[in-house]
């Protein structure tokens, strides 16, 4: 059986990056978001297999959640360092 779609799917990659971005390596989350969105667009254009849409969407959603947590974590770190230096400086 030959594949009728001209491009290979990146849905598995988006999902794996989304899981890793959420669980351990937060810096991967934005990439999961980006790849998942690109996969959804390619499926909508008919360039990739629509059977992978749910996996791509799951990777994108995990990437969004992981990115939000990453941004919040960076914000908390900056706030904590700022408070630390203000406390040490006084």
Q: Looking at residues 29-48, what average pLDDT do you find?
A: 96
Within a domain: 1: no
DSSP 11-75: HHHHHHHHHHHHHT-GGGHHHHHHHHHHHHHHHHTTSS-GGGHHHHHHHHHHHHHHHHHHHHHHH
Within a domain: 53: yes
The answer, yes or no, to whether residue 22 has pLDDT greater than 80, is yes
Within a domain: 4: no
Helix axes 29-44, 11-23, angle to 10 degrees: 160
The tens digit of pLDDT for each residue in 47-86 reads 999 999 999 999 999 999 999 999 999 999 999 999 998 8
Nearest to 5, CA basis, from 46, 66, 38, 58: 46
Please, which pLDDT band fits residue 2 given cuts at 50, 70 and 90? low
Tally of domains in the chain: 1
Within a domain: 5: no
Average pLDDT, the chain: 93
Q: Which domain holds residue 53?
A: 11-89
Within a domain: 69: yes
The answer, yes or no, to whether residue 1 has pLDDT greater than 60, is no
């Amino acid at each position: 059986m030959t594949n009728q779609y001209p491009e290979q799917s990146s849905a598995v990659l988006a999902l794996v990056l989304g899981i890793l971005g959420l669980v351990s390596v937060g810096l991967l989350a934005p990439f999961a978001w980006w790849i998942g969105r690109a996969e959804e667009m390619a499926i909508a254009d008919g360039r990739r297999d629509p059977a992978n849409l749910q996996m791509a969407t799951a990777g994108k959603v995990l990437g969004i959640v992981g990115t939000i947590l990453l941004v919040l974590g960076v914000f908390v770190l900056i706030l904590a360092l700022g408070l630390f230096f203000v406390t040490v400086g006084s």
